[in-house]
C-alpha cells in the first residue's frame, strides 16, 4: 500500500510537472504567435516605408524640377524687364528723331519758300 501511495504521489507530482510544463509551453506558444504577428507587422511597415521612400524621392525630383523651372522663369522675367527698358529707350529715341525730322522738314520748307521767293524775285527782275 505504501508502494501504491508513493507511486500515486509520484504520478501526482508528474501530472503537476506536466501541467506546469503545459502552461509554460502555452505561454511560449503565445509569445511565439505574438512574435510572428509582430514579424508580419514589421514586414508590412518595411513595405510601407519603401513605398514612402519612393514617394519622397519622386517628390524631391519634382521639387528640383520646379525649382529649376522657377529659376528659368525668373531669368526670363529679368530679361523681359531689360528688353522693356531697351524698348522704352528706343521709343524715346524714335520720338526725338521724329521731332528732329519735323524740325528739319519745317526749316527745309522755310528755306524752300525763301528760295522760291528769291527765284520769283529774280524772274521778276529779268
The C-alpha R_g of the chain, in whole angstroms, comes to: 53
Extract long-range pairs of 67-72: CB within 8 Å, 24+ residues apart.
none
Sign of CA dihedral 33, 34, 40, 43: negative
Count of all residues that appear for the chain in the document: 126
Calpha distance 65→102 (Å, rounded): 54
pLDDT surpassing 90 at residue 68: yes
Between CA 74 and CA 15 the distance in angstroms is 86
User: What 3-state DSSP class applies to 88?
Assistant: helix
pLDDT tens digits for range 19-30: 999 999 888 888
Q: Which range has the worst mean pLDDT, 5-9, 21-25, 78-82?
A: 5-9
Q: How confident is the model at residue 35 (pLDDT cuts 50, 70, 90)?
A: confident
Amino acid at each position: 500500500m505504501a508502494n501504491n501511495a508513493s507511486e500515486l504521489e509520484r504520478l501526482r507530482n508528474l501530472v503537476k510537472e506536466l501541467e506546469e510544463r503545459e502552461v509554460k509551453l502555452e505561454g511560449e506558444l503565445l509569445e511565439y504567435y505574438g512574435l510572428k504577428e509582430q514579424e508580419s507587422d514589421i514586414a508590412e511597415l518595411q513595405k510601407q516605408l519603401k513605398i514612402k521612400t519612393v514617394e519622397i524621392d519622386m517628390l524631391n525630383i519634382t521639387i528640383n524640377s520646379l525649382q529649376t523651372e522657377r529659376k528659368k522663369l525668373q531669368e526670363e522675367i529679368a530679361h523681359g524687364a531689360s528688353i522693356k527698358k531697351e524698348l522704352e529707350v528706343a521709343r524715346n529715341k524714335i520720338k526725338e528723331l521724329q521731332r528732329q525730322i519735323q524740325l528739319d522738314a519745317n526749316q527745309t520748307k522755310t528755306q524752300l519758300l525763301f528760295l522760291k521767293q528769291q527765284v520769283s524775285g529774280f524772274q521778276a527782275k529779268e
